[in-house]
Structure 1
C-alpha cells in the first residue's frame, strides 16, 4: 500500500503506528505538523505546520512545558489555530497530488484531520484515495465544542472521512453525531496500535511495596491538583505509601504543591522516560492513577494495567469500556481528592482485589490490545477501505 500519514511526527503514539507500516515494507510518506526526526525509514518526510506548530522547537515533545503554558497554548490554538488551516492546506494538497497515495490517514482531528480535510476539499487529486481519520481521546469531548471554528472543522473532517479509527466505542457514536456517514466503516483499536508485550508485561513477583504512579504528566484535562491533594489523605492512613509522577521533574506547579502539602518525603517527580523505562517503573508499582476528565483509551493507563498495576481512573464512559469498578479497577470523580484517596487506600489494603484485577487485566490486554494482532486488524481495515466504493470528499 502507498500511505500518506498526516501526524505529529514527534508523538510516540503516532510513531508506533507509522513504524509498523514502514517496517513491513509499505510505501510510507509522512506530512508532520511538527519538526521531527525519525528512527525508522519513510519514503519522504515533509513538514506541514499548522496552528502555530512551526514555532515549536524540534526537541520538544507533545505536552511538554509548564502546566500554565500548556493551558494557555491549548486556549490560543483552539481560538486562533483554525485560522491557519486554509493556508497550511495548500502545502499538504501539493504533497498529496505528488504522492498520489492509496490512503491518506490523519492521526488526530485537531489539527491533522482538519488540515487533511481542507486540503482535499480545495482541489481534486488525479487519483482516487481513501481518507481515514483517527480520533484521539479528547478530540470530541474537549476540542470540538471549544470554539465555533473548532466545531466547524470537526464536522468538516467527519463528513469528508471515508473511514474512522477510534480507541473507544464511545467515539464511534460521537463521530456519527458529528457527521460521519452512517455506512462509513470504523475500527476500534488502541491509538498507538496496542501494547508491546516485550516492553509492558507483569513483574515476576507480585509487588509488595505500596507505590502509586501517575503516568499522565501535565495536561489541561488531567486533574493533577486533586491527585496531589489526595496524597496527604493517603499518607494519614498509610505513611509508607510512595508516589511516582511521570514527566513532572522540575515542574514548578508540582513542586509548589509538594511543598505546600508537606509531602516531599513521599513523592518522586520523574523526567520523561522511554517506553522501556516506563515498563520498569510500572512493574515496581501497585497502583496506576489516571485522574482525567477527558479521555478515550489512555495508552499509559493500559500500559500500566499490562504491567500488573491496579487502575484508579476518572469515571468516564470510555474508561468503563476497560474497567468494571470493583472487579479490575476503581473509578472516581477525578476532581475529588478524597475520592481518589479512598480508592487508593482500598487498593492498597485489598491485595486479593489487586491480584484478581491483575489476572483479569492481563487477559483483557491480550485479547483487545496486543500490538501485533491489533496491527494485523489495521492492515485488514486499510485493505477493506481501499476496496470499498468510492466516496466523494468535501465538506
Structure 2
C-alpha cells in the first residue's frame, strides 16, 4: 500500500473517521480526540450511553447497559449503524472488539473497515467442544474477511488470529500504550513508611480480586502494607464485604472508579502493582504501572510474560493461587533494591514499546494506508 504523510487528500479534505466502539472504554475517547485533534471529521457510534465530550456520539444500545446481556443488539441494531454510516459518509471505519462492534460495523458499513482485537474477543471462552466457541470463530473470520486490516494489541492475539486463518499480511500489532507524560515515576517511599500496593483493575470476575484479598490476608507483616484497589465493577460491593470478612479494613481501601489523573497520582506514590487477571490483551493498567516505575507482581499469563521478565522486571504467580501471590508479595516487600532496579528498566521498556502518542500515530498511519489504497482503487 502507498504510505501517506498526512491524513488529507490532494484537495486538502480531512478524512471522515467513523469509530464504532463502547464509549465507557478509555481508548474510545482517546482515538476520537486524537483524530479530531488532527482536524479529521469524527463520528462515534456506541452501544454504551456514555458520551465523549466534544465529539459527536450516537447511542444505539439499550439502557441500562449490561455487557453480559443483549448481545443480539450487535446484529439487530446493525441497520441503525448502517443509517448513521450512510448519513456520515465515512472514508474509513475503525471498530474495536471483533465479535461485537466489529460485527456490527462489518454488517452495516460500506466504507473500508479496520478492526481492532483487544483480548477476549478472539479467544475461546467456553469449554472445549462448546458450540459457542465454533460460533465465535465463524464471526471472527467473517469480520476479518470483511476488514481491510486487523489490528491487535499483543503477539498472543496475533498468533491466535493466524490460527484462525487471518492472513499475516493484514495483521498489524502494537499495544494501545500509555501517556508517558501523565504516567511517570513519583516520590517513594510513602511518608508513613508503609509499603504501598495498588491494583487498578475492575471488580469483574476475569480480574479475580478475591485472590488478591486472600493473598494479603496471608501476609504475616501486613501491618507494614497498605493496598488500594482503584476500580469500579459490578462485584465492588461483594468485595467490600469480603474485605470486612477477612478483617482487612485497616489495610485495604476499595476506592471505586477513579479518573485517570487520580490513578496516575496513586501509581506515582505506590511501590508494588498487583494484577490477578486470568486473561488480557496487552494490559494498559500494567503499562501504566510500569511507566510509573511501580514494581509489578502479576499473574503468569501470556499478556504479562510479554512485558515482565520474571524475577528481574517483576514477579509472577499462577492465576488463582493466593498462596503464590502472597509469597511473591513477601519477596517484593523485602527487596527494595529489586523494586528500584526493575522500576528504572520497566520505565525504559514502556518508553520504547508502549508510548501512546507513538502508537496512536501508527494507528493513524494504518488508516491512511487503507484510505489511500481505496482511493487508488476507485480512481
- State which drifts further: 276-285 or 202-211: 202-211
The aligned residue for residue 273 of structure 2 is 288
2:58 is matched with which residue?
46
What's the counterpart of residue 275 of structure 1? 260
What SS does structure 1 have at the residue aligned with 2:43?
strand
The change in CA–CA distance for 1:309 and 1:357 in structure 2 (over 3 A counts) is same
Aligned counterpart in structure 1 of residue 88 of structure 2, from 81, 88, 99: 99
Kept in 2: contact 1:7–1:31 (CA 8 A): yes
Name which of 65, 72, 86 aligns with 2:75. 86
Whole-angstrom distance in 1 between the partners of 2:345 and 2:98: 33
Deviations 1:82-138 (A, max 9, x none): x33332111112222232222111022241111112224xxxx4xxx3211111122
Distance 1:47 1:362 in 2: 38
Listed one character per residue, the Cα deviations across residues 146-174 of structure 1 (whole Å, up to 9, x for unaligned) are 72543432222122221122111111111
* Contact map agreement 1:158 1:179 (CA 8 A) in 2: no
Q: Is 1:138 aligned to 2:120, yes or no? A: yes
Residue of structure 1 equivalent to 2:352: 367
TM-score, scaled relative to structure 1: 0.84
Report the Cα distance in structure 2 between the residues aligned to 1:206 and 1:379, rounded to whole angstroms: 40
Give deviations 1:67-87, integer Å, cap 9, x for gaps.
xxx8xx62x45xxx2x33332
Which residue does the alignment assign to 1:113?
102
2:168 aligned residue (182, 205, 213) = 182
**184, 187, 193: which one aligns with 1:201:** 184
Equivalent residue, structure 2, for 1:331: 316
Q: Secondary structure at the match of 1:4?
A: strand
SS in 2 for 1:366: helix
- Kindly indicate whether the alpha-carbon contact (under 8 Å) linking 1:170 and 1:318 is maintained by their aligned counterparts in 2: yes
Q: Deviations over 1:320-369 (max 9, x none)?
A: 11111011111211200011111111111111111111111110111111
Note the residue ranges of structure 1 that are not aligned, 5 or more in a row. 58-69
2:75–2:103 Cα contact (<8 Å) kept = no
| Contact 1:167–1:188 (Cα < 8 Å) also in 2 | yes
Q: Secondary structure at the match of 2:270?
A: coil
Distance 1:176 1:98 in 2: 35
| 1:55 equivalent among 54, 63, 70 | 63
- Tell me the matched-pair count: 356
**2:8 matched residue in structure 1:** none
Structure 2 counterparts to residues 1-395 of structure 1, below 5 A: 1-40=15-54, 42=55, 44-49=56-61, 54-56=62-64, 74=68, 76-77=69-70, 81=71, 83-120=72-109, 125=110, 129-141=111-123, 143=125, 147=132, 148-190=134-176, 194-205=177-188, 209-234=194-219, 236-247=220-231, 251-388=236-373
| CA pair 278-348 structure 1, distance change in 2 beyond 3 A | same
CA distance in 1 between counterparts of 2:57 and 2:239 reads 37
Per-residue CA distance 1:12-45 (angstroms, 9 max, x = gap) = 22111221101111111111112222223x3x42
* SS of aligned partner of 1:141: coil
TM-score when scaled to structure 2?
A: 0.87
- Checking the alignment, whether the CA contact within 8 Å between 1:9 and 1:35 is kept in structure 2 is yes
